[in-house]
Structure 1
Amino acid sequence: MAPDQSNESESRTKIEGRKEKLPKAEGDCESCWGDEYDEEEVTMRRCAQCKNQFYCSEGCQGKDWKTHKYNCSPLYDDTTPATIPRDQESEDEIRRMGKILADWMKTFEAQGDAVKTRQWKGSSLPESTAFLVAPSPHFPPYKREIPNPRTKKYRLPLVLMARLFLNDLVGELSSEAKETLAGYINVINMPSSHAKLYGPKIMGRPADLSPGEYISFVASAPIITMQEYGTCSFSKECQERWRNLATAKLFLWDD
């Protein structure tokens, strides 16, 4: 069931006393794209959870929920951990995931032009089997629904890797750096097929995003981590990890 809608005044009331700012309002309904209403007669309403998807009616929201539910997570939620504790266990897991990705990437790059054919599958590499036992989901457990996890068995491991890596990335940043990076994320133009990213939430809730948000961040991460921001920079190891994950996602997500 789709979450309730909230209008602008209701949203402002609900966040009163919080630090969170609402994502910038969009101009069109993100279901019918203006085909079912007169712009002068309708007030656009936000998804009550993520505050970042906009609809002209409950009907349009209901139609869009089949897709949006995989891209939606609360802008704020006091009942779910927003971060994963950074300790020796999580550091060991990050190194293990990094090696799995590096091993897969090395074999992938050795395939040459074969990967450009439609018949080639990322899962054909022997190193792909290591993804299916990685990573450990206990940081805390990830409970958000993954699209088609039984038939697309690499999706959950890819999301859990992204979750663990993002939590580590955010955990190393100062408050000033988080604000800078959040602003950069907000101006990234994502393809319409990707989940929208809201910088302050990415920086504030790295352990509690939707599958779609994690995968959107993976697609952007190689560019994000290569930039020089003044307030922060990222190691070559970090950059390589995200580059490898982005490539693995491209070839394993639909396998």
Structure 2
Amino acid sequence: MSPEKLQWRKVIKGVIAKYVSGTSGLPQGQSQMLDWGDIRENDFVILVVGRAGSGKTTFVNTVSKSELLKVDRGLSKGTRNMGTILCEKVKPRIVLVDTPPHPDEDSEMVLQDWLQSKSRKSKMKINGLIYVHQMGTTTNRFRPQETLGKLQQWGGDEIKDIPYIMVKTRWNLAVPGQDALVEEAWKEGRYKGPDPVVLQKKDDADAGWGVVKLLLENSGYNLEESDETTGVH
């Protein structure tokens, strides 16, 4: 290959890498991946938690109107890392954090390390939590207290004092009487926050944004268009 073609390939690779990295070059208003160091103190940060297969990652992709996070299917245990998405141009800036499944022994250390990280705590504050539950799973697998209790243990008052909301997915799989049992189990935790929400369709971005707005309103915020881009400065 000629030197000219080699140089051209390097230029193309550089442009692609810049686009995929999510730090620049994106159209104004488009969601993007965000590095920890680029999260601002005034960002509204939301943890998205739940069991493997509950639809956490799909929910984050839907709300952010993107496919930035890989959705694991089949026998996979799902997300193994913390994925952070800065949503499209709104004010305050919304940051969604996709978490590994829990309860799960393999992912506990990832969650614990992240919540107890001094570098993370010095840069950002967690403002809300979304617990995603897939209907149709056996009721004895719905143990929000187990997951949320661990998060509160690792994150302390920062996790205890924020609003929580449960999002029920795959409503078509629900069995008779299951919803009442799920609601009762959730209420036992006496979590601060809005009432549970049902998502009828997994790709309903408007309904997903409605969940985010409920958390914002519960925290005294109003969601509005931002004058700044989502680009990291």
Superposition TM-score, scaled by structure 1 size: 0.22
The structure where helix makes up a greater share of residues is 1
The structure where strand makes up a greater share of residues is 2
Superposition TM-score, scaled by structure 2 size: 0.23
